[in-house]
Amino acid sequence: MASKASNPHPAEANPIPEDFVVKDPEAFARNMARMLEQIGKAAAAWVGPREKGDAIDEGPVPMVEIVQTLSRVSEYWMTDPARAMEAQSKLFANYLTVWSNSIRRMTGEAPTPIFEPPKSDKRFSDAEWDSHLFFDFIKQTYLLTSRWADDLVERAEGLDPHTRHKAAFYVRQISNALAPSNFIMTNPELYRETVASNGENLVRGMKMFAEDMAAGHGNLRLRQADYSKYEVGRDMAVTPGKVVAQNEVCQIIQYAPQTETVFKRPLLIVPPWINKFYILDLNPEKSLIKWLVEQGLTVFVVSWVNPDERHADKDWQAYIEEGIVFGLDTVEAATGEKEVNAVGYCVGGTLLGASLAYLKAKGDERIQSTTFLTTQIDFTHAGDLKVFVDEGQIQALERAMESKGYLEGSQMATAFNLLRSGDLIWPYFVNNYLRGKEPLPFDLLYWNADSTRMPKANHLFYLRNCYHENNLSRGRMEIGGVKLDLSKVTIPIYNLATKDDHIAPARSVFLGCGAFGSKVNFVLTGSGHIAGVVNPPAKNKYQFWTGPAPKDVGSFEDWLLAAKETRGSWWPHWLEWITPLSGDQVKARKPGSRKAKPIEDAPGSYVKVKS
């Protein structure tokens, strides 16, 4: 029972605060006119391409797909009046409780709120979300409505797992979009800033909004950082090296040694083509590539082309033959070494995993060990990205790529941002367009915005064979007439997953270990898809867990129970694993050779091509 004596919110504490009152109505009116002028420019930037009939990127999920999915949920509730009435009654009962609690606060009581956001929810960190009656009421109403909507999806019967997954994801996106923190009149912090500046924040914000709409050619290109402060090859991707080979699909970079001797067996890194490789060489303090070179490894990296119409028919066989095999040939030409240790990151690791079986079947065993970084081989538990993949959506995507032969990089970027829209979309929308504040320089977000296009054949093969049909781990994937059997791959494998990964969930990575013929060394590290991997030892951040081979335990939960935690970066642990597989020390190798003559300085020209 609440006590009047403990009330921190008496009625008299909620008059209209002084900082909620416009001080200069004339200046405010002028700024509103200027704001509307900028909104007009944004509208023109949106309308222009549509009037000209230019192709417009509709985003990763067509609106009709969202409506059809949520209609399946509504069918369950609306076909039974009693069931629908029960759901509505529950919602309105909670509304009445929130209203009653507000009335009790006005009379001096301090009732316990029925809904509270988690402490990690930064949207409601301003004190007036709790202290002011109006904003507290808005917050409570939003929280209970969004949780009620989540419950409708969870309790709807007769939905297949994929439809339920999609519905839950779409409802979460709607809830994030409609949060009261995203609107001036329902966000106390935004309201105060608007009044204090007489609306100048909105003028600046709508100017940026118009600029970003124009930059996106009719679609909003949300800026997440000040991109003007960075240049690839000047501020990032600066580890010294040379491009020593190139073809239509990739460039191969060999990095300059930083030790007098190096391990005999070179290292070939296969990054994802969905993003650019320099996440592994972001700056000297964070660079995994620089650290590897400093440990005496001869490092080669595949730098994928940013594809255009010419690459429409480049499929996985092309990416294996003209990417990974081309890289192996280049390593041999540059160093004379046939045996190579390979590293694959994200979808680059998935391609590398497929290539192990493909090359094994062809008698090519130059890859002597493989390290997978946040790589899915089995896609049973692939997370929210599966929302974007079913036969209907794949066919729609195929039709959309027909004219150009590729998928715009902005679509992939938006899909990844939607996975964490509460962190990667709406905070920037509020900061940029409502507060009118320029985003700060941030190298990671510069890289995140430096998107790449997806060639049609490659992307459709990936979506259908991995996310939709899960063919690789089941031995049903076929490339170039070769059916891939991962159970015949018996080389040493180090498989790294990250604890909070929203792209390659740890459970999914763990399950993929069982597809190989060898006993995989599975390691789990703290943080997520990027920070968990790019975690230099000098930072002494996070932790990692080691345990038995996945084949020796029954499940991911069993492995966690048996795992041992170690503080700090996983990099030194991996170095201990790779050292015995890297051979003796030999004289350090300069990039290139007579058979692999340097073409240009690292990071090369392919990585600098913008979408």
Residue closest to 309 by CA, chosen among 398, 402, 404: 404
**Residue 544 per-residue DSSP state:** E
CB atoms within 10 A of CB 166: 27
Residue 346 designated active-site: yes
| Count of Cβ atoms closer than 10 Å to residue 267 Cβ | 25
Distance in angstroms (rounded) separating the CA atoms of residues 499 and 514: 19
Distance CA 39, CA 27 (A): 18
Which of 405, 414, 413 is CA-nearest to residue 307?
405
Q: Per DSSP, what are the bridge partners of residue 378?
A: none
Task: Measure the CA–CA gap between 197 and 34, rounded to whole angstroms.
Answer: 14
User: Which is it for strands 543-546 and 521-525: parallel, antiparallel or unpaired?
Assistant: antiparallel
| Cα–Cα distance, 384 to 599 (Å, whole number) | 41
Q: Please state, as a whole number, how many other Cβ atoms lie within 10 Å of the Cβ of residue 123.
A: 20
Q: How far is CA 137 from CA 32, 149, 172, 287, 349, in A?
A: 28, 18, 21, 47, 49
Distance CA 488, CA 363 (A): 12
* Residue 203, token pair as written in the block: 């003028």
Q: What are the distances in angstroms from CA 575 to CA 177, 296, 563? A: 44, 11, 20
Selecting among 250, 346, 466, 513, the annotated active-site residue is 346
Distance of CA 536 to the CA centre of its chain: 20
CA distance 427 to 367: 44
3-state secondary structure labels for all residues of 194-213: HHHCCCHHHHHHHHHHHHHH
Q: Taking the CA atoms of 130, 131, 137 and 138 in sequence, report the sign of the dihedral they define.
A: negative
Sign of CA dihedral 9, 10, 11, 15: negative
Give the whole-angstrom CA distance, residue 605 versus residue 472: 33
Among 159, 149, 148, CA closest to 76: 159
Which residues, in sequence order, are CB contacts of 300 under 8 Å at separation 6+? 252, 253, 254, 255, 266, 267, 268, 269, 327, 330, 331, 334
Integer Cα distance of 85 and 55 in angstroms: 44
Specify the residue for token string 């079947």.
361
Q: Which residues are catalytic?
A: 346
